[in-house]
Amino acid sequence: MFKRQTLKKWGFAIVGLIAFIGFIALGNWQLERRTWKLDLIQRVEERVHAQAEAAPSPESWANITKAHDEYRKVFLTGSYVPNQDALVVAATEHGSGYWVLTPFKTQDNSVVYINRGFITQGVKASSPPAGQQQVIGLLRLSEPKGSVLRDNDPSSNRWYSRDTQALATKHNIVAAPFFIDIEKSALDNSRPLGENQQHPIGGLTIINFHNSHLVYAITWYGLAAMVVVAGLIVIREERGKS
């Protein structure tokens, strides 16, 4: 009987020790993630406010990554491909409506989709400006498949995410694996509007990173502290019995 109780006590002690070490490790991991996230936020802020640089050429498309390239401020020179607008369901501070994505043929004959901005429901997007243009904006990676709730339906031309590869496939073109969120100052809204038309509203990119790692770390450390407190209570009760 004594041996069984001793083994039971040791079993609880080992489980408590493993739990304590595990909670501490998880807390440390969350602090490491917080450091990484803060560094990412700083790098993105630097990219957004940096001088625009040339967008990646086709030779470097395969090397583009989210960590290194997302939200870089870039510029392109070329011309819009007419009558190829794609409307992607969107919700912004202006209400519900659509992003207007238009293919843009660059000087090296590659194609990059430009998010010309947002239009509200029930209106048509104005045509893109004709002739050679220079566009400036933020590089964004393609958003494959669709939204959380709905998949893109290319056959019906219903788009719920800015999936440049699916858009390119539908129109039988080869396009970059990214698109450009055009900045507001780069838009030419001086052109006259037709009936029931709207110039797309650019510059609506939301840069928001979820950063609750400190809260998670405190939670894990709190659980580790609870294990210690529980262990001390058990030890005190055992001493009281002896």
- pLDDT tens profile 150-183: 889 988 889 999 999 999 999 899 999 999 999 8
At residue 181, the 3 state secondary structure works out as strand
Checking if the pLDDT of 89 tops 80, the result is: yes
pLDDT tens digits along 137-147: 999 999 988 88
Binning pLDDT at 50, 70 and 90, where does residue 232 land? Answer: confident
pLDDT at residue number 47: 77
| Token pair in block for residue 87 | 């409307």
| Encoded amino acid at 112, one letter | V
In this structure, of 75-84, 90-99, 124-133, 190-199, the range with the lowest mean pLDDT score is 190-199
- Burial class of residue 58 in the structure, from the number of CB atoms within 10 Å of its CB (0-12 exposed, 13-18 middle, 19+ buried): middle
- Separation of alpha carbons 111 and 7, rounded Å: 70
Q: How far is CA 82 from CA 90, 128, 170, 223, in A?
A: 22, 7, 16, 60
145 burial level (CB within 10 Å; 0-12, 13-18, 19+): exposed
- The answer to whether the CB of 187 falls within 8 A of the CB of 199 is yes
Given a cut of 80, whether residue 30 has pLDDT beyond it is yes
The mean pLDDT of the chain is: 86
pLDDT, tens digit, 9 for 90 and up, residues 32-87: 888 877 776 777 777 777 888 999 999 999 999 988 898 899 999 999 999 999 99
Angle between the N-to-C axes of helices 2-48 and 213-241, in degrees from 0 to 180, rounded to the nearest 10: 160
d(CA 60, CA 53): 14
Phi, psi of 197 (to 5 degrees): -110, 160
